[in-house]
Amino acid sequence: MRAATHAHAPVSDFPVGCVLETASGWVAGSNVEHAADWTRGLCGERVALSAAVASGAGAISRIWLACPKAPGATPCGGCRQLLAEHAPQAEVHIWNGDGAPIVTTPADLLPGAFEADRLLG
């Protein structure tokens, strides 16, 4: 996936690309590390979700995630929560460099995700 080639991962060498299929088109993101402390970097999923929200892209129907150097990789816990909040019904396609993508959902990635309506009760 082309979005992963734009990742800035000088320390981890763990490129991640994410493309969202939204009501108004495609929104891409890639991970961006902070060289002094790569654990404070931005995940590709968060970059794409932030861009989609900021641009008013609308509902997300599909999420395409590429981790070309990481067989078996899936979104981190924080990204799973954000996917569950912003795209609960979306198909998530995860490609890890070989073979066909794994197709899943935010609910399968994070069963029992915290939902905002819990705050209203």
Q: What is the pLDDT of residues 13-49, one digit of tens each?
A: 999 999 999 999 999 999 999 877 767 899 999 999 9
Tally the domains of the chain. 1
Q: Is the residue at 101 inside a domain? A: yes
pLDDT of residue 79: 96
Q: Is the residue at 20 inside a domain? A: yes
The CATH number given to whatever domain includes residue 105 is 3.40.140.10
At 64-108, the pLDDT tens digits run: 999 999 888 999 999 999 999 999 999 999 999 888 999 999 999
Q: Is the residue at 51 inside a domain? A: no
In our burial notation (b when 16+ CB lie closer than 10 A, e otherwise), range 18-51 reads: bbbbbeeeebbbbbbbeeeebeebbbbbbbbbeb
Q: Is the residue at 83 inside a domain? A: yes
Tell me the whole-structure pTM to 2 decimals.
0.90
Evaluate if residue 6 carries a pLDDT over 80.
Answer: yes
Q: Is the residue at 14 inside a domain? A: yes
User: Any idea which residues carry the catalytic annotation?
Assistant: 45
Q: Is the residue at 22 inside a domain? A: yes
- Give the structural domain span for 81: 2-43+56-119
Which range, of 4-13, 52-61, 74-83, 111-120, averages the lowest pLDDT?
111-120
Q: Pick 18 or 117 by higher pLDDT.
A: 18
SS3 content of the chain, % helix, strand, coil (to 5): 30, 25, 45
pLDDT of residue 121: 59
pLDDT of residue 36: 79
Q: Is the residue at 24 inside a domain? A: yes
Q: Is the residue at 100 inside a domain? A: yes
